[in-house]
Amino acid sequence: MSSSLVSLASLLGISFASGVNLYAAVLVVGLGIRYHWLTGLPPELAPLSHPLVLAVAAVLYCVEFFADKIPVVSAVWDSVHTFVRPLGAVVIALTAASHLSPVDQTIAALTGGAVALTSHATKMGVRLLAHGTGEPFTQAALSAGEDVLAVTLVMLVSRHPYIALAIVCLLLVLIACLLPLLWRAIRGVLRGIGRWWTRWFGPRAVHG
């Protein structure tokens, strides 16, 4: 296998997974390296297998696991992680590229952050649409699906990097194609939330 393509698969796969669920991605990478379950990952990611890193990631994953199932809490959590997940992907990318030149490290960091932000923004958009349905089981199903996607991508990066690379590229193209439709749907949901807010908390509601 071409080492360049394998490195690209690792960068894109782990970054995309981090944008969906950063803590699950860190846990799988760290545990896989520590217990030699995943042997195809960049050796520079060994710091993620440190017990302290694993403990912090495990605690935060547990918090996210439950927060993700509650619609209002999930929305706040995802909003905060608009900064956390891409930054986490940048740190992972820089760690994986620590043996490269400063220019290559910068490119890896920018690429990792951009891919993570893309997957995170898509996740937030889909979640916002799900909030509009008011149906709680949809949130749980989406949360479980996101966890499976993040874990599967990391495992594929290790065992079948070319497949992981193809899947991530396909997902990015799909996101780009669906972005206008998703954005229109999100604007509709936001307008509905705005009307609801005005109806209940606007001047007429206060003085009525």
Residues 6+ away with beta carbon under 8 Å from 28: 38, 150, 151, 154, 155
**Number of residues assigned to the chain:** 208
**CB of 38 closer than 8 Å to CB of 159:** yes
For range 142-146, the mean pLDDT:
90
At 35-49, the pLDDT tens digits run 999 888 889 999 999
pLDDT at residue 198, rounded to an integer: 64
Task: Give the whole-number percent of the chain exceeding pLDDT 90.
Answer: 57
DSSP letters spanning 88-145: HHHHHHHHHTTTS-HHHHHHHHHHHHHHHHHHHHHHHHHHHHHHHHT-HHHHHHHHHH
Quote the tokens at residue 177. 């194609």
Task: Give the whole-number percent of the chain exceeding pLDDT 70.
Answer: 84
Q: What is the mean pLDDT of the chain?
A: 86
CA 7 to each of CA 34, 125, 184: distance values in angstroms, whole numbers, following the listed order: 20, 29, 36
Q: Residue 183: exposed, middle, or buried by beta-carbon count in 10 A (0-12, 13-18, 19+)?
A: exposed
Rounded CA gap, 88 and 68, in Å?
19
Q: Residue 82: exposed, middle, or buried by beta-carbon count in 10 A (0-12, 13-18, 19+)?
A: middle
Residues 6+ away with beta carbon under 8 Å from 57: 23, 26, 27, 30
pLDDT at residue 8 tops 80:
yes
pLDDT at residue 206, rounded to an integer: 46
Q: Which domain holds residue 105?
A: 3-207
Domain count, the chain: 1
For range 98-118, the mean pLDDT:
94
Residues 6+ away with beta carbon under 8 Å from 172: 16, 115, 118
At 12-35, the pLDDT tens digits run 999 999 999 999 999 999 999 999
